């Protein structure tokens, strides 16, 4: 008789422990709440000419910088530690030097001087953001008084305007480079930059595409600055200016096969944007192209954060500006008669997308 081996009792199944669930912490809120610490440290360093001074010295100790900046040792040490922690300075052997970013963008007089934007934000936008709740409750800008001014640019402070236009040129130059890489302008010949400011986009695009010719359309006081900048860069053979008001003028200048609207539509309400896109369509020849460069919101308006927060900035800066969604831009372009609408992602401080559309070619 075969021997029967007893079947061992099944061991109880080990109960798997639930995955550890991280409890929420206030760290993200702390970072949000103290975000202004970073900005104000940067703004103070720019106002004290820290980076420009250090560029001249090459490198310096804290004691040497205290003397150069006319500061006491204690606050000097704190400012240097803060700027080093933010990646603006490099500390080696008890001496400091500018980081690559600071040397490139925060030394006054350099081609891509970004300090103007820092100063503009600190002196103009930052105080207005203190009144954000007022803007939310009243639906009115806080950087200027719409009851007594026609726009935010009517100001007695020429320094603020100079900082603003210098900042816009720097930001737009890098966005223009991103656009030049992302979109092929080979088939385009004449560009109209609507509200083109001091000409950052045309200068960048015409350098990248030497065959391209461009026109900057803006108010007379702005085109005067654009002509100076264009001439200084040696591009007046390729870029011209046109004095005008793209909102008030009944039509846009013709003779261009591509129209650019860069960070323009977020300044205005939907009706104004629809009317402007209709003008673009009318000014273009059959087969012509319009390009919208903006920080575009996702269709569900859940982000990205730069686009959403720029929308709040439009609340404090404009009467009716807004950062709009892909679907809204697509709808307006279709309504204006454009077809073949595509979105090209951009990685730039001034825009996250270029929306490209075409006027139907003649058959």
Q: Do 158 and 97 contact (CB within 8 A), yes or no?
A: no
Helix 220-232 and helix 200-208: axis angle, to 10°?
40
Whether 267 and 297 have beta carbons less than 8 Å apart is answered as no
> Catalytic: 266?
yes
Q: Which residue's entry shows tokens 């080979």?
A: 186
How many Å apart are CA 81 and CA 131, to the nearest integer?
31
> Which of the residues 256, 266, 281, 358 is marked catalytic?
266
Q: Classify residue 27 by its DSSP letter.
A: H
Omega before residue 304 within 30° of 0, cis: yes
Ordered strands of the 60-61 beta sheet: 60-61, 95-98, 89-92
Are 199 and 218 in contact, with CB atoms under 8 Å apart? no
Token match 């720097």: residue?
Answer: 170
Structure token digits, residue 160: 């603020």
Gyration radius (Cα) of the chain, Å: 27
CB-CB contact of 147 with 140 (8 Å): no
Question: Would you name the residues annotated as active-site residues?
Answer: 266
């Amino acid at each position: 008789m075969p021997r029967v081996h007893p079947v061992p009792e099944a061991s109880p199944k080990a109960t798997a422990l639930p995955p550890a669930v991280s409890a929420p912490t206030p760290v993200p809120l702390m970072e949000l709440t103290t975000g202004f610490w970073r900005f104000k440290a940067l703004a103070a360093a720019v106002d004290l000419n820290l980076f420009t001074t250090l560029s001249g010295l090459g490198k310096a100790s804290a004691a040497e910088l205290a003397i150069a900046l006319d500061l006491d040792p204690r606050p000097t040490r704190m400012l240097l530690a803060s700027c080093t922690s933010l990646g603006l300075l490099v500390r080696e052997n008890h001496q400091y030097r500018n980081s690559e970013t600071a040397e490139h963008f925060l030394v006054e007089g350099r081609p891509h001087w970004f300090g103007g934007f820092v100063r503009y934000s600190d002196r103009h936008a930052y105080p207005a953001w203190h009144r954000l709740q007022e803007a939310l409750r009243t639906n009115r800008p806080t950087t200027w008084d719409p009851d007594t001014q026609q726009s935010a640019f009517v100001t007695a402070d020429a320094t603020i305007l100079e900082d603003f236009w210098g900042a816009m040129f720097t930001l737009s130059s890098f966005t223009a480079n991103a656009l030049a890489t992302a979109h092929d302008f080979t088939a385009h010949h004449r560009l109209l930059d609507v509200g083109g400011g001091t000409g950052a986009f045309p200068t960048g695009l015409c350098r990248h595409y030497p065959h391209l010719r461009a026109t900057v359309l803006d108010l007379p006081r702005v085109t005067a600055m654009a002509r100076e900048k264009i001439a200084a860069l040696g591009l007046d053979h390729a870029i011209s200016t046109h004095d005008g008001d793209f909102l008030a003028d009944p039509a846009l200048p013709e003779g261009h096969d591509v129209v650019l609207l860069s960070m323009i539509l977020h300044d205005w309400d939907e009706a104004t944007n629809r009317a402007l896109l209709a003008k673009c369509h009318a000014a273009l020849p059959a087969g012509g192209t319009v390009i919208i460069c903006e920080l575009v919101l996702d269709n569900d308006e859940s982000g990205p954060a730069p686009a959403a927060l720029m929308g709040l900035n439009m609340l404090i800066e404009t009467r009716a500006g807004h950062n709009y969604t892909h679907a809204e831009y697509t709808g307006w372009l279709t309504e204006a008669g454009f077809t073949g609408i595509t979105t090209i992602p951009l990685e730039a401080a001034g825009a996250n997308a270029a929306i490209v559309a075409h006027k139907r070619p003649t058959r």
